[in-house]
Amino acid sequence: MTSKPERSPPAGSAQLTFDLALRPSLEAGDFLVSDANAAAVTFLDRWPDWPSPSALLAGPAASGKSHLGKVWQQRSGAIAFSASSIGESAVKTFLRPDMRALLIEDIDRGIGDERVVFHLLNQARETHRHLLMTSRIPPGELEIALPDLRSRVRALAVLQLAEPDDALLRGILVKHFADRQIAVDPPVIAYLVRHMDRSFEAARRTVAAIDQLALARRQKVTRAIAADVLAASKDNGEHGSAG
């Protein structure tokens, strides 16, 4: 059985300003902030001093919605519900005397009971509690049958997570490599930033493919390996399709 080549710690890891644990942490300090997400992070950090009782955190796949949602949940003591399975129990939970906040995740994947969500939004406003929802798409694109709820959701404060800019994409790539204990030279990162699809999901997928190819060749990660991975993804129709 062929063993994997030994990994060395990422070069310059002491200078990185984010967590290098093998598993992504949910601590607030581990989230990479740039112009692409700074406004959303600032809004969430203001809790409980929000300008509105409810908000919608929207962004593409792998953009950090779950991470930020969990950080806010830990900070606020919120209970989390999946939108697809939400029911009357969520109302009872939200109105408990010790409850100040509620998190409803993935409303773009279907809402179990739209009347319940509408009631929760009303309760947040009337009882001075806070409600955060997450979605991969903006409110105007959500399929909501109940007119009152559709109108209310479209009026929410929207915390938009944009696709990564250069600074954020660079940090995400370094973080993904560090999670895999892969040392990568800065020119390789710079090459990827210039040539890869600019999305969070593409960054995750590209680093995984580079790791796999480097292991198969029993080589360190180089610009040539990165180029081969990007060429292969383009040939397979993956390049430019993530998000």
What are the beta bridge partners of residue 104?
81, 133
> Could you tell me the domains of the chain?
13-18+165-235 (1.10.8.60), 37-160 (3.40.50.300)
pLDDT for res 163: 86
* Cβ proximity of 24 and 126 under 8 Å: no
pTM of the predicted model as reported, rounded to 2 decimal places: 0.74
pLDDT for res 33: 85
Task: Report d(CA 200, CA 214) in Å as an integer.
Answer: 21
Task: Report d(CA 184, CA 188) in Å as an integer.
Answer: 7
* Bond from prior residue into 186 cis (ω within 30 degrees of 0): no
pLDDT for res 10: 42
pLDDT for res 26: 57
User: Mean pLDDT in runs of 10 for the chain (243 residues)?
Assistant: 44 34 49 87 95 96 88 95 96 95 97 98 97 96 96 96 90 92 95 93 94 95 97 72 34
pLDDT for res 238: 58
